[in-house]
């Protein structure tokens, strides 16, 4: 613990990255307090998105390498004192790093041990480490001057077609008016769009680690917490497991489901545009909602989306399915960065 604090004190640009073990071991309150006392800017990894959302921590944003905001990427990759707290070092979190993070210069606390460069302290549980650090650190330090990630607000409800980033802006405005709610996201562009929504509780798969996760996860969220969730799902994933919404009537669940419908495997198309299997049929999902015990509406313009979201929030007792028509080839800002970054990283070096 003394060595951890000494390394952080000697660093010119220390950063704390919170990972999934912080949630698994119930340490969010203590980690937020530790970050305040140390005066460290905090980021989450991609798999840790949603951590500390309800805590007073100096949270900057989410690190996603080339897919994330450049200022967050520079903060993490330029740190000379990166503290990976409960952070799983894996491709899902670090595979799209534009600059390779030198793990020999990081502080890693994971899986019951702490590693500082070539020093390894085995049998050091994360909770014991955090408690020991708190016992050694006094009052809160000044908050870091690193600016917080800016999320889009000010949705324009006009007759323009809808892009995924418009959905993020509309949801941000909605939560500003009606309060935050937990989100369950499926894979694909709906997951990248979730990264543009104000930091809130989130469950989601990692990239393409699974598919069809969003709707069942949303039902699990409401069953476990009693909170009404927002579900983000693409039309391909909805074809797999969207029919689980038929169980809502039996159990009294009423999630709000935003179905991104571009009649396409659009994320696959961005990497393999010549493949015909990327095309999906338009099944008319909104019309199916009534038969499953919910309400459905199809929207094509930003004005229709704004009205549908307000109706969905105001209507309780039945699931609300908002089928959002998105033109093919239109991606969220985050997915555009991801695609451009992956293609750049995969190009052969001259």
52 and 106, same structural domain? yes
Give the max Cα distance, the chain: 63
Residue 142 included in any domain? no
- Residue 267's pLDDT band, with cuts at 50, 70 and 90, is low
Average pLDDT on 213-223 reads 97
Residue 147 included in any domain? no
Residue 231 included in any domain? yes
- 126-136 vs 2-10: helix axis angle to the nearest 10? 70
Nearest to 261 by CA among 231, 277, 287, 282: 282
170 and 122, same structural domain? no
Residue 350 included in any domain? no
> Using one digit for the tens of pLDDT, what is the confidence trace for 152-184?
999 999 999 999 999 999 999 999 999 999 999
Coil/strand/helix, residue 260: strand
Nearest to 171 by CA among 199, 211, 139, 132: 199
- State the Cα–Cα distance between residues 319 and 220, nearest whole angstrom: 14
- State the Cα–Cα distance between residues 56 and 43, nearest whole angstrom: 13
8 and 111, same structural domain? yes
330 and 256, same structural domain? yes
Nearest to 195 by CA among 319, 303, 338: 338
> Using one digit for the tens of pLDDT, what is the confidence trace for 54-109?
888 888 989 988 888 888 988 999 999 999 999 988 877 776 776 678 888 899 99
> Using one digit for the tens of pLDDT, what is the confidence trace for 311-328?
999 999 999 999 999 988
Torsion sign over Cα 226, 248, 316, 202: positive
Residue 252 included in any domain? yes
Average pLDDT on 26-33 reads 95
Task: Tell me how many helices (H) and strands (E) the chain has.
Answer: 15, 13
Q: Bigger pLDDT: 244 or 284?
A: 244
Residue 267 included in any domain? yes
Give the chain's domain count. Answer: 2
Average pLDDT on 291-314 reads 97
176 and 304, same structural domain? yes
Residue 148 included in any domain? no
**Lowest mean pLDDT segment, chosen from 52-66, 223-237, 284-298:** 52-66
- Mean pLDDT: which of 148-152, 272-276, 325-329 is highest? 325-329
> Using one digit for the tens of pLDDT, what is the confidence trace for 115-143?
998 889 999 999 999 999 999 998 777 77
- State the Cα–Cα distance between residues 184 and 194, nearest whole angstrom: 9
Give the domain range for residue 26.
2-136
CATH code, domain carrying 18: 3.40.50.1220
189 and 69, same structural domain? no
What percentage of the chain exceeds 90 in pLDDT? 63
Final residue before a domain boundary, out of 116, 136, 156? 136
**Lowest mean pLDDT segment, chosen from 69-78, 228-237, 285-294, 298-307:** 69-78
Which helix (H) or strand (E) element contains residue 184?
A: strand 183-185
Residue 346 included in any domain? no
319 and 191, same structural domain? yes
- Residue 347's pLDDT band, with cuts at 50, 70 and 90, is low
Q: Which pLDDT score is estimated for 277?
A: 65
| CA-based radius of gyration for the chain | 21
Is the pLDDT at 269 greater than 70? The verdict is no
210 and 99, same structural domain? no
171 and 86, same structural domain? no
176 and 288, same structural domain? yes
Q: What is the DSSP string of 84-125?
A: EES---SHHHHTT-SS---GGGSEEEETTEEEETTEEE-S--
Q: Which pLDDT score is estimated for 266?
A: 63
Q: Which pLDDT score is estimated for 89?
A: 85
- Count of other CB atoms within 10 angstroms of residue 215: 28
Q: How far out from the chain centre does Cα 89 lie?
A: 17
DSSP single-letter state for residue 301: B
Average pLDDT on 204-221 reads 89
- State the Cα–Cα distance between residues 108 and 86, nearest whole angstrom: 8
Final residue before a domain boundary, out of 136, 155, 179? 136
Q: Which pLDDT score is estimated for 102?
A: 80
- State the Cα–Cα distance between residues 111 and 292, nearest whole angstrom: 43
Mean pLDDT for the chain overall: 89
Burial (CB count <10 Å: 0-12, 13-18, 19+), residue 242: buried
Q: Which pLDDT score is estimated for 236?
A: 87
103 and 46, same structural domain? yes
């Amino acid at each position: 613990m003394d060595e951890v604090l000494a390394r952080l004190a000697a660093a010119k640009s220390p950063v704390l990255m919170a990972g999934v073990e912080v949630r698994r071991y119930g340490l969010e309150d203590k980690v937020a307090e530790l970050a305040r006392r140390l005066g460290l800017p905090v980021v989450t990894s991609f798999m840790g998105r949603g951590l500390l959302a309800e805590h007073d921590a100096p949270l900057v944003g989410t690190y996603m390498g080339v897919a994330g905001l450049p200022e967050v990427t520079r903060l993490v990759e330029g740190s000379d004192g990166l503290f990976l707290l409960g952070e799983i070092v894996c491709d899902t979190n670090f595979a799209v790093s534009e600059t390779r993070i030198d793990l020999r210069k990081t502080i890693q606390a994971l899986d019951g041990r702490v590693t500082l460069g070539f020093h390894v302290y085995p049998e050091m549980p994360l909770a014991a480490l955090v408690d020991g650090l708190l016992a050694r650190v006094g009052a809160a330090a000044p908050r870091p001057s690193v600016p917080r990630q800016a999320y889009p607000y000010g949705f324009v409800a006009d007759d323009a077609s809808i892009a995924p980033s418009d959905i993020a802006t509309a949801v941000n405005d909605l939560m500003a008016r009606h309060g935050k709610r937990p989100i369950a996201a499926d894979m694909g562009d709906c997951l990248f769009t979730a990264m543009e929504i104000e930091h809130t509780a989130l469950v989601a798969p990692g990239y393409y680690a699974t598919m069809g996760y969003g709707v069942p996860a949303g039902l699990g969220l409401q069953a476990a917490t009693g909170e009404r969730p927002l579900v983000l799902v693409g039309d391909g994933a909805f074809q797999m497991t969207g029919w689980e919404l038929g169980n809502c009537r039996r159990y009294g669940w009423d999630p709000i489901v935003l179905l991104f419908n571009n009649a396409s495997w659009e994320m696959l198309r961005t990497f393999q545009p010549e493949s015909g299997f990327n095309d999906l049929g338009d099944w008319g999902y909104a019309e199916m909602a009534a038969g499953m015990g919910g309400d459905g509406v199809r929207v094509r313009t930003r004005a229709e989306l704004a009205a549908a979201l307000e109706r969905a929030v105001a209507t309780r007792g039945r699931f609300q399915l908002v089928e959002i028509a998105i033109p093919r080839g239109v991606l969220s800002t985050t997915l555009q960065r991801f695609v451009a970054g992956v293609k750049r990283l995969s190009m052969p070096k001259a």
